[in-house]
């Protein structure tokens, strides 16, 4: 999604950030968050979910590799998204476009001019910091969290100074409070006394004050979340990675690694429409790599510089066309609006996609209670967006965005029409026929509304008033003939963030008996069977008994064409179970002597172990495949 910031100009080359890579070490966070995340990060490495990219060379900040289990998990999630969004719907077609595209695309989309983050440099430790994220980093840091508590409990200056002289000194050595505790604390107390309760300084002002010997009203730059020194004034930093196409590395050959997958969908809209025999309303889906030169990649894979997105652009009629065709535009009530209907306006479509996406998350094991819906305020919305809902997940390090679902008006296709000179509109036979039957008053009302919306967009995009009026008049005349530029609803999800959410959600510790019956802590990754990397593990009870091994191979080969199977014959059976619990394998099949007919009535049966309950049931080998398929689909 294009940033909302309108303040930006084109910032310096993305390579500026490279010298700082070594300096962007992770921030020491709240100890409890640290502990939970440390366990998760260590399991990811130990079990082969996620590795640091280029690890043997010291790693490269913001880049991550998926190991054997992670690669399967990711593939399952992407496949299920594709199945849900494309294969099981009549109204969505797929696309797979290139990562490097014509640079004009990023001019038209606004990324060249406004895809920027505010960046500051720390005067002390020289780290680069995203200025707007510094507050949150401070409040959840090892030093910010206790200071926040002192602030909230109205601690007196003495207590503040005492903290600075003891714990604070160790945690945040360059904060002005630490360098000069008595003076800063006294200043702070004076400021509190001077202000009435109603105008009590905010938490953020408190942190600014803690970072400076003198508090200047209006000064709002936070101290460095890492060392507490002053940060420079924020400057805009464009997040796109630049490269050159062809042998000459000059400005004429500059191209960008795509910062989102969505733009290719808009650019190929006409081709897909013509070849897929779809008509509005319909969607185009794409999943693939995206690149953003994030100033401060952090929270493990949450904010990476190379990541994957799964995006749908769902094209709908403008409300004026809907009203002309159906005589009304329905607005949504709470909850899922049900099966799509022709009278749905953009608001109902938007609600529909929010609810559909929540259902998707539920169906891969993220219950609604782990998610939050955040409706962006009018001030936060991009100028072209009519509404945006962020679906947030409760990560151990905070409740953060997984996916954004935006109603983006007709902005994107209109921009590509203006920049490419190619028409991006569609002809809608139904609209043409319906329009002819409207009374004159209705025609005038709908034309006026459409004219005004188009005029607003054109003026906002910098067209001169006269030209904008001429173009908007043509657009309104086009509507009467059945032509319009479709509006779009965009559910845009991040694969890597979702994988991290699934891993955090799955991570569980419980108590289970070891080989000798003594209780020990068991780590279980409780993935939904649908997305679990390995669906079933097959174990011969003993590996030195050829008849058991032969049978176990038969079971493995029976299941393997249909699902991921892990064959394990090494070590005690209890330890083999534990290994699969950590890998998140939902089912374990053990071939024992009863399978071979030691007890005649159990011939050709195996035990099927459930990862979460650890319960074992006896199942006929002949029933195994259909039983497992039912559970993993």
Half-sphere exposure of 629 (CA within 13 A, CB side): 10
- Exactly one of 74, 111, 174, 303 binds ligand ATP (CB under 6 A); that residue is 303
Q: Where are the alpha helices (DSSP H) in 481-597?
A: 495-506, 546-559, 573-583
C-beta of 64 vs 484, nearer to ligand ATP: 64
3-class DSSP assignment, residue 294: coil
Q: Given the DSSP bridges, would you call strands 92-94 and 282-291 parallel, antiparallel or unpaired? A: parallel
Among candidates 257, 276, 265, 238, which has minimal Cα distance to 491? 265
Instruction: Tell me the C-alpha distance between 298 and 312, whole Å.
Output: 26
Question: Which of 168, 494, 529, 586 is close enough to bind ligand ATP by CB under 6 A?
Answer: 494
Q: Contact, 295 vs 235, CB < 8 A?
A: no
CA distances from 31 to 170, 396, 462, 509, 599 (A): 15, 11, 50, 19, 54
Going residue by residue from 464 to 493, which x/- string records binding to ligand ATP, judged by CB under 6 A?
Answer: ----------------------------xx
Smaller CB distance to ligand ATP: residue 130 or 226? Answer: 130
Q: Which is nearer to ligand ATP, 504 or 608 (CB)?
A: 504
Q: By CB under 6 A, what part of segment 585-624 binds ligand ATP?
A: none
Closest separation in Å from C-beta 255 to ligand ATP: 20
- Pick one of 403, 428, 475, 568: the residue that binds ligand ATP (CB under 6 A): 403
The distance of closest approach from Cβ of residue 404 to ligand ATP in the complex, given in angstroms and rounded to an integer, is 4
- Spatial contact of 156 and 44, defined as CB atoms under 8 Å apart: no
From residue 19 to residue 48, what is the string marking binding to ligand ATP with x (rule CB under 6 A)? ------------------------------
CB of 388 vs ligand ATP, minimal distance in Å: 8
Own/partner pairs, 162-165, CB within 8 angstroms, 24+ separation: none
Beta carbon of residue 291, minimum distance to ligand ATP (angstroms, whole number): 9
CB 265 within 8 A of CB 286: yes
Please select the residue that binds ligand ATP; options are 201, 396, 404, 529, rule is CB under 6 A: 404
Residues 203/257, Cβ–Cβ less than 8 Å: no
Q: Whole-angstrom Cα distance, residue 97 to residue 261?
A: 8
CB of 492 to ligand ATP, least distance (A): 4
Positions 279 through 298 that interact with ligand ATP (CB under 6 A): 292, 294
Among 84, 114, 261, 304, binds ligand ATP (CB under 6 A): 304
| Nearer residue to ligand ATP within complex by CB, 400 or 605 | 400
SS3 of residue 357 by DSSP: helix
**SS3 of residue 376 by DSSP:** coil
User: x/- site string to ligand ATP, residues 225 to 264, per CB under 6 A?
Assistant: -----------------------------------x----
Cα–Cα distance list, 166 to 31, 54, 178, 179, 276 (Å): 18, 39, 9, 12, 68
Q: In the bound complex, what is the minimum distance in angstroms from residue 449's beta carbon to ligand ATP?
A: 29
307 binds ligand ATP (CB under 6 A): yes
Q: How many angstroms separate the CA atoms of 481 and 63, rounded?
A: 51
418 φ, ψ (degrees, to nearest 5):
-65, -45
- Per-residue mark of binding to ligand ATP, 497-516 (x: CB under 6 A): x-------------------
- Residue 117 C-beta: closest distance to ligand ATP, Å: 8
Of the pair 78, 303, the CB lying nearest ligand ATP is at: 303
Q: Rule CB under 6 A: which residues touch ligand ATP?
A: 1, 260, 292, 294, 303-304, 307, 309, 401-404, 492-494, 496-497
């Amino acid at each position: 999604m294009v940033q909302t910031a309108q303040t930006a100009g084109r910032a310096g080359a993305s390579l500026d950030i490279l010298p700082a890579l070594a300096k962007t070490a992770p921030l020491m966070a709240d100890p409890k968050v640290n502990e939970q995340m440390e366990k998760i990060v260590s399991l990811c490495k130990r079990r082969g979910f996620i590795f640091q990219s280029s690890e043997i060379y010291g790693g490269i900040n913001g880049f991550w590799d998926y190991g054997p289990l992670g690669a399967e998990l990711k593939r399952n999630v992407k496949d299920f998204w594709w199945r849900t969004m494309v294969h099981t719907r009549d109204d969505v077609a797929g696309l797979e476009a290139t990562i490097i595209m014509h640079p004009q695309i990023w001019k038209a989309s606004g990324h060249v001019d406004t895809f920027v983050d505010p960046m500051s440099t720390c005067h002390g430790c020289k780290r680069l910091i995203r200025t707007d994220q510094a507050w949150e980093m401070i409040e959840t840091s090892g030093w910010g969290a206790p200071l926040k508590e002192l602030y909230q409990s109205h601690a007196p200056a003495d207590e503040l100074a005492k903290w600075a002289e003891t714990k604070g000194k160790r945690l945040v050595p360059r904060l002005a409070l630490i360098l000069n505790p008595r003076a800063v604390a006294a200043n702070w107390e004076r400021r509190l006394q001077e202000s009435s309760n109603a105008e009590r300084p905010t938490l953020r002002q408190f942190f600014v004050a803690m970072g400076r010997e003198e508090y200047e009203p209006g000064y709002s730059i936070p101290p460095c979340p890492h060392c507490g020194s002053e940060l420079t004034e924020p400057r805009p930093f464009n997040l796109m990675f630049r490269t050159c196409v062809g042998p000459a590395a000059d400005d004429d050959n500059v191209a960008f690694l795509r910062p989102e997958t969505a733009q290719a969908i808009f650019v190929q809209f006409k081709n897909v429409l013509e070849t897929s025999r779809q008509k509005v309303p319909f969607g185009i889906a794409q999943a693939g790599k995206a690149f953003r030169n994030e100033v401060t990649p952090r929270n493990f894979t949450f904010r990476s510089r190379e990541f994957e997105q799964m995006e749908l652009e769902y094209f709908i009629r403008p409300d004026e066309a809907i009203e002309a065709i159906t005589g009304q535009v329905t607005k949504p009530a709470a909850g899922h609006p049900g099966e799509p209907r022709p009278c749905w306006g953009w608001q109902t479509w938007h609600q529909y996609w929010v609810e559909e996406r929540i259902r998707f998350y539920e169906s891969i094991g993220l219950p609604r209670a782990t998610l939050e819906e955040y409706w962006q305020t009018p001030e936060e919305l991009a100028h072209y967006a009519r509404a945006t809902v962020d679906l947030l997940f409760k990560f151990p390090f905070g409740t953060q965005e997984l996916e954004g679902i935006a109603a983006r008006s007709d902005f994107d296709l209109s921009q590509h029409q203006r920049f490419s000179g190619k028409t991006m509109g569609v002809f809608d036979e139904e609209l043409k026929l319906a329009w002819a039957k409207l009374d004159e008053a209705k025609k005038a009302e709908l034309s006026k509304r459409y004219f005004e919306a188009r005029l607003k967009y054109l003026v906002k995009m910098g067209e001169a008033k006269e030209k904008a009026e001429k173009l908007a008049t043509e657009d309104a005349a086009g509507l009467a003939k059945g032509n319009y530029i479709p509006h779009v609803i965009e559910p845009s999800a991040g694969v890597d963030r979702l994988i991290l959410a699934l891993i955090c959600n799955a991570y569980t510790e419980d108590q289970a008996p070891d080989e000798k019956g003594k209780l020990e802590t068991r780590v279980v990754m409780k993935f939904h069977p649908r997305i679990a990397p390995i669906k079933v593990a097959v174990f011969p009870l003993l590996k030195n008994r050829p008849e058991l091994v032969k049978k176990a191979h038969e079971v493995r080969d029976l299941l393997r064409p249909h699902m991921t199977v892990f064959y394990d014959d090494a070590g005690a059976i209890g330890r083999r179970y534990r290994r699969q619990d950590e890998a998140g394998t939902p089912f374990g099949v053990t071939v024992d002597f009863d399978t071979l007919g030691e007890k005649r009535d159990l011939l050709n049966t195996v035990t099927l172990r459930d990862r979460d309950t650890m319960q074992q049931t006896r199942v006929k080998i002949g029933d195994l495949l259909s039983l497992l398929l039912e559970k993993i689909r």
